Amino acid sequence: MRMLAALTVLVYHALYQWLDAYPRLVALFNDLSHAAVIVFFVLSGYLIAYTTTSNNRGPRQYAVARLSRLYSMVVPALFITAIIEVLVHQLTPELAAEYTRGNPVPRYALCLAFCNEIGLFSASPPINNPLWSLSYEFWYYTIFGLWFYRGAQVKSLLLPLIACLIAGPKILLLLPIWLLGFAAYRLPTPRVAVGTAWVLVFGFTLVAGLVVTNLPGFPYVVGYKPFFYANQFVSDWVIGVLFALAVWFLPAASASTSAERGWVSAFRAVADLSFPLYILHYPLLILWRAVFGWRMNDMGQMWLAIIGITLVAGVIGLLLERQRGLWIRFFKWGMGRLKPRRVPLASPVPQLEKVLS
């Protein structure tokens, strides 16, 4: 599901840049591309429900896992994006002008802090627009973590409330979709036959697809003020409910043999590569056009670019995954530095002797 969603976004951005003679096809994939991000949000909530239920090792480990996962990809992606932006400016200035909105440095800094979508503004670098969704993900992880690991006192709700205020209305409008994924894991699995479950899975997915392709986004058009990528939040809620139901009805299974565990590992590796593909494909498409040139409405050239960029992003993703351990150790060190220092208590014996004397 994750890889199909990432490929859908890639194909849309390639269609958008190559095929201006097929506006209906581009419009269709525009809708599917946004729905693919909704799929990401549902699956993200589902994953966090799994990790906090089956492998809960406390708030520090939760923070280390989430921060290392995000920063191990985002920092290299921003670095690669910046290099590509400079190269495109040098190779094809007229192409670079299409993806320039003033000084890019503040945009990169905001993305590094996952603040590019807080409040009511949207400030991802134009040469890598898909980074918008990572700001949403970061604040969902933060808000949930502060709530899930809160203390028993009422005042412990203050931190998640502050996080909500910082995140702002755009991010909060799509938070219910993320929570639907969480609920799809935590709710008891429906007791239906396996065959019936698969029919329901495909049925809900099909209905979600029909909603995406046949109903206009509501209440606003995605990408503009007031809420930018959360503009059609009502439509997104409907799609999120349908897809979360499809995930909820997925039949449960376990890998009991070494061969099955091998397949699980292979699927997990492919799913992990969807992340670098998603955050690198857009600048790589633009770099491809700057280096090799492009012929508008040339299907063959477009698909060559799609295949080439998928392979390049996959290789980069494999290299970055090998560095994940360094980020884990870095954030573990950082979390260790945040531990409160234990101040030894003074021995009561000398104090008692002083009083008695």
Which amino acid makes up residue 245? L
Which amino acid makes up residue 203? G
Q: Which residues of 140-164 are buried (b: 16+ CB within 10 A; e: fewer)?
A: bbbbbbbeebbeeeeeeeebbeebb
Over residues 314-325, the mean pLDDT reads 92
What pLDDT is recorded for position 339? 63
Please provide the average confidence, as pLDDT, over all residues in the chain. 90
Q: What percent of the chain has pLDDT over 70?
A: 94
* Distance, CA of 11 to CA of 9 (rounded, Å): 6
Over residues 187-192, the mean pLDDT reads 90
Over residues 271-284, the mean pLDDT reads 94
User: Of 165-169, 257-261, 345-349, which range is least confident?
Assistant: 345-349
Q: What digits encode the pLDDT tens for the residues 123-165? A: 999 999 999 999 999 999 999 999 999 887 888 899 999 999 9
Is 349 a residue whose pLDDT tops 60? no
What pLDDT is recorded for position 343? 43
The DSSP secondary structure of 249-309, one letter per residue, reads TSPP----SHHHHHHHHHHHHHHHHHHHHHHHHHHHHHHHHHHH---TT-HHHHHHHHHHH
Could you tell me the two tokens for 122?
């949207």
Over residues 61-90, the mean pLDDT reads 95
Is 56 a residue whose pLDDT tops 90? no
What pLDDT is recorded for position 102? 87
* Distance, CA of 345 to CA of 342 (rounded, Å): 9
Q: What percent of the chain has pLDDT over 90?
A: 78
Which amino acid makes up residue 262? G
> pLDDT grade, residue 355 (50/70/90)?
very low
| 8 Å CB contact between 70 and 32 | no
Domain extent at residue 342: 2-356
Q: At what angle do helices 132-148 and 158-167 cross, to 10 degrees?
A: 170
What pLDDT is recorded for position 234? 96
Q: Cis peptide before 169, with omega less than 30 degrees from 0?
A: no
pTM over 0.75: yes
Residues 6+ apart with CB under 8 A from 240: 38, 41, 42, 176, 177, 180
Could you tell me the two tokens for 158?
């203050």
Q: What digits encode the pLDDT tens for the residues 222-273? A: 989 999 999 999 999 999 999 999 999 998 877 677 777 888 888 888 888 9
- The 10 Å Cβ neighbour count of residue 303 is 13
| Domain total in the chain | 1
Q: What digits encode the pLDDT tens for the residues 80-94? A: 999 999 999 999 999
